[in-house]
Amino acid sequence: MSGKGRAVVRCGAAVGLLLALGAGVFAGWNLGAPSTRGTSAAAPPPSPTLPATGAVAGAGQKRVVLFGDGMVDGYGLPDGKSLPLLLARARPDLLLIDLGLSHEWSTQLVARVRDVTTAQADAVVLWTGSYDPANGVGAQQYAANVATLLDALKGTRVLLLPPVSLPTGPDVSAYAVELDRVAAQHGVQVLDATSALSAPDWLDSGQELGPRTDAALAALLAKAL
Amino acid sequence: MSSRAARCVAVALLALVLAVGLGGAAGWGLHYASASTHTASAPTPSASPAPTPSATPTPAASASGAAPPRKRVALIGDSLTYGSGLAAPQDLPSVLRKLRPDLDVISVAVGGQQSADLLGRVRQFRLLHADEAVVWIGGQDADDRVNVESFRGNLDKLVTALAPARVVLVTPIADYAVGGTLFLPFAAATRDLAHQRGVPLVDLDNIPRSSYLSDNTHLDAATERRIAVLYAKAL
């Protein structure tokens, strides 16, 4: 190739490379750290109490959905004392998908069960009923809701936890009886959580479980899952 | 010029074509909030055919013969993300899974949530080890007349708290059952924050009322699909 030809080629390649690079930036390709212009502070390092986030984190883990109210979420407790985090520590082989929401009752779970059925879960921990009486859901309706949930989760391993009576709330033993009945009909296991739930500790609100109970439940679930 | 030189020029021209193509792909409601692109007007999601991302394996995966590592994506939001009113597989998460089988899509969307509710659930989101998180929130904030600056502050904290996951923000849309314009300042705040934080933005602009279900709050299947296509491009 002549000197002039080489120059033409170099020039053409350089222009093409620069244009491709420019278009990549325009299209949002991450060629470097994203801009954090403005007043926002840079992201803090991940909390030491939480597992790291990463591209292949969780690869090969069993997927377990925690589905229910704030009790399964450890609501009100600091990260390191909550049921999901304690369970994650005890069983790093599990990817926990925590879908617990504070004070939800069984009817609300029915309305959002699709997020569970599409999560490709290997197992689901279902814990509901503790807040049903306060929201006007009777034991029969509770049973029907649980049956609907179990029907939706058919084919997935489900561990049920029994409802708990709040310190200032009504007794939920009738709900627990219904749970046992529905579980037996569906061939699903109700976890014996007597050791953890017979005398639970409570946060000051009287609505959420305390750290001792969450620790006991995490140990229980770590063995059961 | 020799044949070798001609080949080199052809490579350069190919790069040029690639550049033009990539530049064009940045449009259609998907904005990367850099200073140079954010000011571009956002087109309303139209009824024009949506480009379907290729589901073919990546070149690296093809070369090695191994399955590509799956990127995990958390969908964070309210009933619009959940796809309330639609049966699977018409809901947004299901459509996205279909469009991008290389992604591990986990939906943690809950109807009726405000931005403040999401802040209270950061622990849940981080447990997912998500590589990316799409955050579509603000409709309920608008309905409940939450202070816009509070909303923006919540969203800002959420972007920070989700790190190191890459966050994609999505503008809230009208809830015609409550008011057709309440969302506008919340959408503007979302755009502004995306610009300030330099995070990608899916700008839904002003979705026409005809794209809604009869409840005037939730979107029809075709529109959820178009939004899923935008997500598929952004992720």
A215: domain CATH number is: 3.40.50.1110
* Amino acid A55: pLDDT: 41
In three-state secondary structure terms, B11 is helix
* pTM for this entry: 0.76
Does residue B54 fall inside a structural domain? no
Give the closest-approach CA distance of A171 to chain B in angstroms. Answer: 29
Please report whether residue A214 resides in a domain.
yes
Best of A8, A18, A53 to disrupt the B interface (most B CBs within 10 Å) is A53
pLDDT tens digits, one per residue of B16-67: 444 433 333 333 355 544 333 332 333 344 333 333 333 333 333 334 444 5
> Closest partner residue to A28 among B9, B13, B32, by Cβ?
B32
Query: Is B2 a domain residue?
Result: no
A103 and chain B: CB distance < 8 Å anywhere? no
Could you tell me if residue B7 is inside a domain? Answer: no
CA-atom Rg of chain A in angstroms: 25
- Asked if the structure places residue B218 within a domain, the reply is yes
Cα angle B201, B46, B222 (rounded to 5 degrees) comes to: 95
Predicted pLDDT of residue B206: 83
pLDDT for res B85? 95
A106: closest CA of chain B, how far (Å)? 15
Q: Is residue B21 part of a domain?
A: no
pLDDT digits (tens, 9 = 90+) for B8-17: 455 555 444 4
CB contact under 8 A, B16 and A53: no
Flag if B131 and A112 touch (Cβ within 8 Å): no
pLDDT in tens, A171-208: 999 999 999 999 999 999 999 999 999 999 999 999 99
In the numeric block, which tokens belong to residue B28? 């259609």
Q: Are A112 and B164 in contact (CB < 8 Å)?
A: no
CATH code of the domain in which B149 resides: 3.40.50.1110
Which residues in chain B are closer than 8 Å to A28, comparing Cβ atoms?
26, 32, 34, 200, 234
Range of the domain at B34: 28-49+68-234
In a domain? residue A180: yes
The predicted pLDDT at position A216 comes to 97
Interval B135-145 mean pLDDT: 98
Q: Domain count of chain B?
A: 1
Q: Is A119 on the interface with B (CB under 8 A)?
A: yes
pLDDT of A97 strictly over 80: yes
Does residue A24 belong to any structural domain of this protein?
A: no
The verdict on residue A5 lying in a domain is no
User: Could you give the CA distance from residue A88 to residue A100 in angstroms, rounded to a whole number?
Assistant: 15
Assigned domain for A27 exists: no
* CB contact (8 A) between residue B18 and residue A111: no
**Is the model more confident about A59 or about B204?**
B204
Q: Which residues pair with B200 in a beta bridge?
A: B32
| Chain A residue with the nearest C-alpha to that of B103 | A55
Please give the residue range of the domain that contains residue A68.
Answer: 62-224
**Angle in degrees, 0-180, between the axes of helices B3-25 and A3-26, rounded to the nearest 10:** 10
A60-82 pLDDT tens trace: 789 999 999 999 999 999 999 99
Q: How many domains is chain A built from?
A: 1
Q: Is residue B57 part of a domain?
A: no
